[in-house]
Amino acid sequence: MMSNNYILDRSIIYEVFLSLFRLNNNKTINLEDLELEKEIKLDKEIVNWTAETLEKIPENKKETITKYFNEESYFGLCLISEIPVLEIDKMEDYLSYLREKEASDFLYRFTQSGYGPAPSEKIDLAKVKNLIKNEKQAAKFVNEKLNFSSAQKWNLLQFYFEPEAMKNEFIELLEWYYKNIFSSNLEWIKNKLEKINDNYQENIKRYGKKYLENILSKLIDNPLSGEQNYIAFSYFYETRILNSSLNNGDSFYLIGFRFPEIFAADEEGLLGSLEIFKALADETRLNIIALLAEKTMYGNELAEKLNLSNATISHHVSKLLMNNIIQAQKKENKLYFKLNKNKFKTAVLKAVNNLI
C-alpha cells in the first residue's frame, strides 16, 4: 500500500530475524515491568512460544544466536533494512540472495550497528575490505572506534579475521532455524501479521498520515520527511521501534505491534505525568539531559562521555525519547539527540500541573 511518501511493507523475513532477536533477549524485551507500571497484560502467546521454542534449540545453536542477535550489537538486525527494496517474499529466496552476497557486505553492515564511529570517520565498503586485509588495522579500528562491549568487539574482530566463515555460519543459522523451528509456526505467524496489518491499515485509513507521524515522533523529529519511507509492523518486536536509513537516502521504520498502544497513546493526565517523573528519576538520564543542554550529540558521543556502552545509552535515550524529554534528528544516516529547553520545561510543568 502506497500513500504520500510512505509504503506499508509486510514480510515474513522480518519475523524470522526478529523472533531470533526475541529469543535471545526475551528477558529485556518482556513486559513484566510495564505490566506492573501500566497494567498492561503480557501477550501470553509470545510468552508461551518463547518458552517452548527455547526448549527446542540446542545449546550450540543458542550460542550462535547470541553471537549475531545480541542486544548490545544488533549484528543480525543490521541486514533487515535492505529487505524492503529487495522485493523478495520467501525466506528460501532470501537465503539464496544472502549466499550470493559478499562477506564484506555483511561486515560493512555489522560494523555500522549501533551508533558506529564518528561522522568524520565514515565507514564504506571499500574501507571494510581494506580492514579485512590487515588484521592489525582491523583490531585497532574495532577497539578504538567502536563502542561495543569487549565481548562484542571480540566477536566482530573474529568476523574480520574470518569473513567467509562468519558469512557461512550466519546463513547456516538462519537456514537451520527457519527449517527446524520457524516454519512449523509459519501459518500462525502469517495470520498474526495479517491481523496486525489490517488493524493498522484501518487506523491509517481513518486518521491519515498524522497517525503514523504520531507513532514515529516518539523516535525522531519530523518523521516521514524522507523522499520515501518504508513502514513495517512486527509481531515479535512487540513493544519496540527500529529506524534505519537505506543506501539511497530513504528511511525504514519497523514498529512492534504493541508500541502504539503503549507509548503513543494519549499523554494527558496522571499516567503521562508519572511516566515523565519515572524517566527523570535516574542519574544516567539526568546526566544525558545535562550533556544535551550544552549541545546536540549523537549516541556514541554520549556513550564516550559517560563511559557507558552503546546499548546502555540506547536504553536510557529511549526512555527520554518516549516521554518527549529529548528529540532525535537524523543527519547523514545518524541519529543526533537534542534537548529543546523550552519544550522540556513545558513538559515538566505540564506533568506537575496534571499531578496536582
Indicate the domain borders of the chain.
58-180, 266-355
201 vs 114, more confident: 201
Taking the model in full, what pTM does it have? 0.84
The cell numbers describing 108, all together, are: 560493512
The per-residue pLDDT for 105 is 96
- What percentage of the chain carries pLDDT values higher than 70? 88
Q: How far is CA 222 from CA 61, 99, 113, 208, 250, in A?
A: 41, 37, 23, 16, 14
The per-residue pLDDT for 311 is 76
Q: What is the tens place of the pLDDT at every residue in 276-315?
A: 787 888 899 999 999 999 999 988 889 888 988 777 888 8
188 vs 246, more confident: 188
Region 76-102: mean pLDDT is 94
Q: What CATH number labels 266-355?
A: 1.10.10.10
Res 269 pLDDT > 50: no
The per-residue pLDDT for 44 is 87
The per-residue pLDDT for 304 is 85
The per-residue pLDDT for 3 is 44
The per-residue pLDDT for 2 is 41
Res 187 pLDDT > 70: yes
Q: How far is CA 267 from CA 126, 220, 259, 270, 347, in A?
A: 46, 17, 14, 9, 10
The per-residue pLDDT for 307 is 86
Q: What is the tens place of the pLDDT at every residue in 313-337?
A: 888 888 888 777 888 877 766 778 9
Strand duo 2-3 + 297-298: pairing: unpaired
Spatial CB neighbours of 350, under 8 Å, sequence gap ≥ 6: 273
- Could you give the CA distance from residue 285 to residue 33 in angstroms, rounded to a whole number? 18
15 vs 311, more confident: 15
